[in-house]
Chains A and B, each alone.
Chain A
């Protein structure tokens, strides 16, 4: 069955440090992959999305993600974290023909320390 695993429920990073949030997916076929972010008291917002092509995808606010078919991964990275990045990050995969069904991971809560 298709699934998305975010192995880290919570990650703490110092402001200015680099960040990697991990995402592993299980899907037989060509995946379309997304990272969404949920800031406090707001809805989920798209950070970036991947569809077949360049494995490194640039997103908003300095975020990027790299698709690896061999590792079934789509990790999110940022070179220098800002306090405003404090949020919950969701990895998701779109599956199947029609593509309506997006399967989400359980999310990683990013805490930024001063």
Chain B
């Protein structure tokens, strides 16, 4: 089973309110990623966990938090949503972090901030 699951599939949030998105995988992958995708743009890496170590991209460091309570689950947390956070959020996992590892993606969570 190469399924990555994401919940919820759609999320409506108010400006200034927190948002928590959930991702799970049962492939025992070491690495889990979160991407942000806006229409007609490339998926943008926000952060990833390798095992228990969190790595956040420099330009989104303060905007997103994450936790990984166990190997299977990973969350993405926005403390105070702004209109610019409206996007599709893609979760992915891979066996490791070597160059040729395939990333397996979930179906995404579409976040709309009003």
Interface residues of A (CB under 8 A from B): 4, 9, 32, 34, 36, 41-46, 49, 51, 90, 94, 98-107
Q: By DSSP majority rule, is chain B's interface helix, strand, loop, or mixed?
A: loop
Confirm or deny: B82 has a beta carbon within 8 angstroms of a beta carbon on chain A: no
A94 touches B42 (CB 8 A): no
Q: Are the C-beta atoms of A43 and B108 separated by less than 8 Å?
A: yes
Q: Return the contact of A101 from the options B45, B90, B98, B107 (Cβ within 8 A).
A: B45
> Contact at A51–B99, with CB atoms within 8 Å?
yes
11 additional contacts, CB 8 Å, given A4-B42, A94-B99?
A36-B105, A41-B107, A42-B107, A44-B43, A44-B105, A51-B100, A94-B100, A99-B100, A100-B55, A102-B45, A106-B42
Min CB distance, A38 to chain B, in Å?
A: 8
CB of B85 within 8 A of chain A?
no
| Chain B interface (Cβ < 8 Å from any Cβ of A) | 4, 31, 40-43, 45, 48, 50, 55, 90, 92, 97-108
Question: Given A41-B107, A42-B107, A43-B90, does the pair A104, B100 have CB atoms closer than 8 Å?
Answer: no
Docked complex Cα distance between A43 and B105 (Å):
5
Q: Complex Cα distance A34/B94, Å? A: 14
Given the known A-B contacts A32-B99, A43-B107, A94-B99, are A106 and B48 also in contact in the complex, defined by CB atoms under 8 Å? no
A98 touches B105 (CB 8 A): no
Residues of B within 8 A of A41 (CB): 107
Shortest distance between the CB of B92 and any CB in chain A (Å): 8
Which chain B positions have C-beta within 8 A of A36? 105
What residues of A have a CB within 8 angstroms of the CB of B99 in the complex?
32, 51, 94, 99
Partner of B42, one of A34, A49, A100, A105: A105
Contact present for B42 and A103 (CB under 8 Å): yes
Is B42 touching A99 in the complex (CB atoms < 8 A)?
Answer: no
* B2 and chain A: residue at smallest CB distance: A45
